[in-house]
Amino acid sequence: MPTRRRLLYLLLAGLTMACLASPHVALAHVGAPYPVLLEQPVGPYIASALADPDVGTGTFYVLVDLPDGQPVPPGTSVTVWVEPEDGHRAAVGRPAEREETRYGDRFVARVPFDAEGPWKVRLVIDGPVGTGEASFVVRVTPSGIGWLASIACLIPFLILGALWLRGALRQRTKP
């Protein structure tokens, strides 16, 4: 019996070490979009941008204002250009769609990312007031939390189930 218990402890320790030895899951971006520009002057505009750069399709949310607080005039357009830093493909630009929100208009662009890693992003705002450009870098990550993280989340429940089963079997063998 002691060897069986020792084997169980070794198995649990091995699984725990395997989960902790994979830090790339912790580095992946999962969750809400994060800010990449906060109230930065972009030509005659003030822009803020949130990014959700996932492999496949990344999403950028751009809020555009004028310095005097006036709404952005109709005819204003936003284009998001992306290019991998390693240069494995040419820059790709996608126009953003204008959406009305309770905080004003925002522009949403969905752009293709075919690989993980750093990508250069160029934000171009063009309209009746003028043209402006801003550049920044985002790190593209896989979407979702991955299979290893899912297994790691199951481990506490498996341990509780094993403890419950052990107690139930012990209770059953007692007279």
Over residues 148-168, the mean pLDDT reads: 85
* Residue 77 belongs to a domain: yes
* Residue 97 belongs to a domain: yes
Instruction: State the CATH number of the domain containing residue 129.
Output: 2.60.40.2480
State yes or no: pLDDT of 88 exceeds 80. yes
Over residues 107-132, the mean pLDDT reads: 93
Over residues 132-157, the mean pLDDT reads: 83
Candidates 68, 44, 59; CA nearest to 126 is 44
* Residue 112 belongs to a domain: yes
Q: How much is the pLDDT for 30?
A: 56
Q: Higher model confidence: residue 123 or residue 154?
A: 123
Identify the DSSP state of 24: H
Structural domain of residue 105, as residue ranges?
A: 31-140
* Residue 55 belongs to a domain: yes
* Residue 69 belongs to a domain: yes
147-150 long-range Cβ contacts below 8 angstroms, 24+ apart: 148/19, 148/22, 148/25, 149/25
* Residue 17 belongs to a domain: no
Alpha-carbon distance of 41 to 132, in angstroms, equals 8
35-70 confidence digits (pLDDT tens): 898 999 999 999 999 999 988 889 999 999 898 888
Residue type, 61: Y
- Overall domain count for the chain: 1
* Residue 131 belongs to a domain: yes
* Residue 124 belongs to a domain: yes
Alpha-carbon distance of 150 to 142, in angstroms, equals 15
Q: How much is the pLDDT for 25?
A: 43
